[in-house]
Amino acid sequence: MKISLLKWYMLAFMLVSNFVMFAQEPADETGEGEPPLENDETPDAPISGKLIWLAIVGIAFAYSYYAKMQKEKNAA
């Protein structure tokens, strides 16, 4: 039960921290504050090179999880 609660807490923390990380201050009536994202002049970050690594890690994780489940199933 304790581990399950910890997992839910970690999941909630990761989801909420993502929103906080990219949050911006809204511009107030005087025009001060962060500009909206539409007027941002920074170029987009390319992620194409990282997708292959993400796929490799995902496949490795799926394989290890499947192998672990098969091992537990055969042991029982």
Q: What's the pLDDT tens digit per position in 6-27?
A: 888 888 888 777 766 665 555 5
The pLDDT score that the predictor gives to residue 58 is 92
Tally Cβ neighbours within 10 Å of residue 62: 10
Mean pLDDT (whole number) for 66-70: 92
Alpha-carbon gap, residue 76 to 73, rounded angstroms: 5
Alpha-carbon gap, residue 17 to 11, rounded angstroms: 10
The pLDDT score that the predictor gives to residue 52 is 85
Distances (CA, A) of 30 to 6, 26, 37, 75: 44, 11, 18, 68
Alpha-carbon gap, residue 4 to 8, rounded angstroms: 6
The pair of structure tokens assigned to 47 is 């992620």
Share of the chain above pLDDT 90, in %: 21
